[in-house]
Structure 1
Amino acid sequence: MAINLFKTPISFCSLSQHEKNSLSSSNFINFTPKRCKLSSNRLSFVTQFQQQQQQVKVSSSSSSSSSVALSSVESQQDQHLNFPIMVNGCTGKMGKAVIEAAVAAGLQLIPISFSSEEEAGQTVQVGGSNIRVHGPSEKEAVLASVFDAHPDLVVVDYTVPAAVNENAGLYCKVGVPFVMGTTGGDRERLYKTVEDSKVFAVISPQMGKQVVAFLAAMEIMAEQFPGAFSGYSLQVMESHQASKLDTSGTAKAVISCFEKLGVSFELDQIQQIRDPKLQLEMVGVPEEYINGHAFHMYHLTSPDQTVSFEFQHNVCGRSIYAEGTIDAAIFLAKKVRAKADKRIYNMIDVLREGKMR
């Protein structure tokens, strides 16, 4: 049955165990029992709530004025925060998107990147800059030289899963703070490497800040109201570019939340759409995003068919992830400057800071 339910431009994500551990068990989301489409306005609730929790209540009018003045100064400093940033994986689509976002944010782009041996020696033009690509054999010497010249450097990694642990080991060895957006690799080993080195890092399998906020809300709801949807049936449809051969990890994460809420569902029941013609005609993916999109639909129905709930999240392109990555880099640069005690962060931490662009 063709169901064209992909209209709302929002998305879920796959949270790491570290991100799930960051969720406060004392917070919960009120779920309205009616058929609904979740808009970006509703999605902003989570971020607004977190920002409100960060506000400091001032007891006197004089201290309140001082606090407002200080907040204004900090805000101006944040707006003009500038630091050198190096993006590894500049030949890939995400790497290019992050570089463009970094340039747009006014950050100082280091025109150097790491990639495979086959791509070493290339000069890639991205964001108006010519970026020199270095291979694996040059990485340590090049990174050490760049970090020596730019001690406030932040590195962003969007390479390939097979390089996650090796690259993280290099960043930790040199001592450079980094944002790891690449998925895969041995995640337990990744965290241990960073913990042992005490290097500052933001590690997240999903950099879309609104995406992270929304799935965090789903996780909280699942933990607070287990079994709330017991007996309901679930339909899941996900559409990605034809080059994605596996089942969406995002869909798996969302289904996991629904299972905690009492829904019985097998992963082989997911309807995967990879045919461009169906994506255009049935799913409603804009033609210009056929080769880069992530559309999902989750439809819940009560046992007697009288109540239904509908969740959907659509992402076109990569800008949401690139912008979130730059927010994470800015967040990390501030933590380094402040010499914060905590060293490893995730996107939940970035969201809770409440000072994103």
Structure 2
Amino acid sequence: MDHHTVLIVGRGKLAAELLQGLDGPGIAGVLPWDGRDAAVGGPCMVVHAGSGRELGDVFDFCSATGSILLDLSTAGTDYPAEAAFPLVVCPNVNMQMLSFMAMVRQSAGLFRGLDIGISESHQASKKTSPGTAVHLARSLGVPEAAIRSERDPRVQREVLGIPEEFLDRHAYHEIVIRDAQVEIRMQTRVLGKSAYASGLSQLIGIVSGKRPGPGCHDIVDLLLDGA
């Protein structure tokens, strides 16, 4: 396994958590994006967990150095048409959720032609696109505009059953597949602070082992490759 210096791009909660808690056998060190000049010797892996303001500079850096970019953003990023570096899109870094997303993608063809609904709920402060729900919708052939999003704390508490203490940090997803006689419901809940740092550490090891070539890759496809 290659050992990478990991550069964290972003200034929000997620970026701060990764800077403080990211560690693992394939990680040589963790630096903020502003400290990238200190990353000398050996390959880098850039983790974008920001708003997108620095993405132009990130693309230039990865093109010049051949560094791998893991994009954790869910804000509808415009990627280069032909990336000259490995770009891995990661709409989620929780390993259980990624396993669920991989399962859905593998079995999606079995449900073509049925009525499929997707709903999601996150804390009211979430303003970015619901990346996990969008990924599930694309796997199942559901239009992104048909995703039902909930941001009302009262509905989250009284209808969805989100405990009061987790209203300010949760992720809820539900897939409903039905015809006239049968209804299947699949529901996921992440309550509180998810294990982002430990999940990302595992993903870094997986991506390092896969050694993807230049171009855009979906983390779920990489997980399924050889599974």
Give the equivalent residue in structure 2 for 1:213: 99
Assess if the C-alpha contact under 8 Å between 1:171 and 1:177 holds in 2.
yes
Hey, which of these two has a bigger chunk of helix by percent? Answer: 1
Q: Deviations over 1:182-216 (max 9, x none)?
A: 243312x1x623x2xxx455333333343333233
Judged with a 3 Å threshold, the aligned counterparts in structure 2 of structure 1 residues 236 and 225 are, in CA distance, closer, same or farther, namely closer
Give the equivalent residue in structure 2 for 1:329: 204
1:349 to 218, 222, 226: 222
Give the equivalent residue in structure 2 for 1:102: 22
Q: Give the secondary-structure state (helix, strand or coil) at the position aligned to 1:86.
A: strand
Q: Give the secondary-structure state (helix, strand or coil) at the position aligned to 1:186.
A: coil
Give the equivalent residue in structure 2 for 1:287: 164
Give the equivalent residue in structure 2 for 1:17: none
Judged with a 3 Å threshold, the aligned counterparts in structure 2 of structure 1 residues 108 and 290 are, in CA distance, closer, same or farther, namely farther
Unaligned segments of structure 1, at least 5 residues: 1-77, 115-133, 135-141
TM-score between the two structures when normalised by the length of structure 1:
0.51
Q: Deviations over 1:94-119 (max 9, x none)?
A: 2123234423x364434x413xxxxx
Assess if the C-alpha contact under 8 Å between 2:49 and 2:73 holds in 1.
yes
Q: Give the secondary-structure state (helix, strand or coil) at the position aligned to 2:82.
A: helix
Give the equivalent residue in structure 1 for 2:51: 160
Assess if the C-alpha contact under 8 Å between 1:241 and 1:291 holds in 2.
yes
What is the percentage of aligned positions where both structures have the same residue?
22
Give the equivalent residue in structure 2 for 1:254: 136
TM-aligned CA deviation for residue 332 of structure 1: 3.9
Give the equivalent residue in structure 2 for 1:186: 78
Q: Deviations over 1:63-91 (max 9, x none)?
A: xxxxxxxxxxxxxxx7xx865333222x3
Q: Deviations over 1:110-165 (max 9, x none)?
A: 4x413xxxxxxxxxxxxxxxxxxx3xxxxxxx53x3233x3243332212134334
Hey, which of these two has a bigger chunk of strand by percent? Answer: 2
**CA–CA separation in structure 1 for the residues paired with 2:186 and 2:117:** 10
Judged with a 3 Å threshold, the aligned counterparts in structure 2 of structure 1 residues 169 and 203 are, in CA distance, closer, same or farther, namely farther
TM-aligned CA deviation for residue 327 of structure 1: 1.8
Alignment of 1:1-357 (within 5 A): 83-89=4-10, 91-103=11-23, 105=24, 107-110=27-30, 112-114=31-33, 134=34, 143=36, 145-148=37-40, 150-183=41-74, 184-187=76-79, 189=80, 192-193=82-83, 195=84, 199-224=85-110, 226-227=112-113, 229=114, 232=115, 236-245=118-127, 248-259=130-141, 267=145, 270=148, 272-303=149-180, 306-334=181-209, 342-344=213-215, 345-347=217-219, 348-350=221-223, 352=225
Assess if the C-alpha contact under 8 Å between 1:327 and 1:350 holds in 2.
no
Matched residues, number: 223
**CA–CA separation in structure 2 for the residues paired with 1:269 and 1:182:** 18
Letter paired with 2:101: L
- Tell me the C-alpha RMSD between the 2 structures: 3.5
**CA–CA separation in structure 2 for the residues paired with 1:324 and 1:208:** 5
Assess if the C-alpha contact under 8 Å between 1:88 and 1:159 holds in 2.
yes
Assess if the C-alpha contact under 8 Å between 1:200 and 1:332 holds in 2.
no
**CA–CA separation in structure 2 for the residues paired with 1:349 and 1:255:** 19
Assess if the C-alpha contact under 8 Å between 1:239 and 1:274 holds in 2.
yes
- Quick check: which has more Rg, 1 or 2? 1
Letter paired with 1:285: I
